[in-house]
Amino acid sequence: MSIANLINVPREFAQSPDAHAWTFSNSADHDEIIQAIQAQYGIRLNTYIVDPFPTSDLTGWFFRHQNLHDDMNGVLGLTGSDFTDLDVSDQTEVNYWALQHYQEHLAARIALGI
C-alpha cells in the first residue's frame, strides 16, 4: 500500500471524511511496518487500535498512536517526534503535524526497504 494518503492533510481533523481516509491509511501503514519488523527483526510489536478516531478520548488515540511510533523507531533506531500534542482546531498546526508524521512513516519504510 502507498503512504501517499498520509501526505493528504486532513481538514477538520477527527471529523471529516478526509480524516477517516487518513486514519485508515495510517493504521494500514502501521500494520505493514509491524509485519515487516516481525519478518526482518523477529520482533513482534504490539498493535493498538488507531482507526477510526474515537468519538471521545482523543487524547487516548494520540497516546496509542505514539506507542506505535515509539515502538517502530526503537527497533529501527530512528529519532521520532512527539505526536501527542496537537490542537486539532488549528489547521496550520495540523498541517505541520501531518507532514512530520508522513516523514516519520517514510523514514521507517526506507529503513525497512518496503
Residues of the shown chain interacting with Zn ion in the complex, contacts defined by CB under 5 A: 26
Q: How far is the CB of 27 from Zn ion (least distance, A)?
A: 8
Say how far apart CA 49 and CA 29 lie, in whole Å: 13
Cis? peptide before 52, omega within 30° of 0: yes
Q: How far is the CB of 55 from Zn ion (least distance, A)?
A: 20
Identify which of residues 5 and 26 has a Cβ nearer to Zn ion in the complex.
Answer: 26
User: Among all residues, whose Cβ is closest to Zn ion?
Assistant: 26
Q: How far is the CB of 40 from Zn ion (least distance, A)?
A: 19
The answer to whether 1 touches 32, Cβ cutoff 8 Å, is yes
Say which DSSP state 10 is in: P
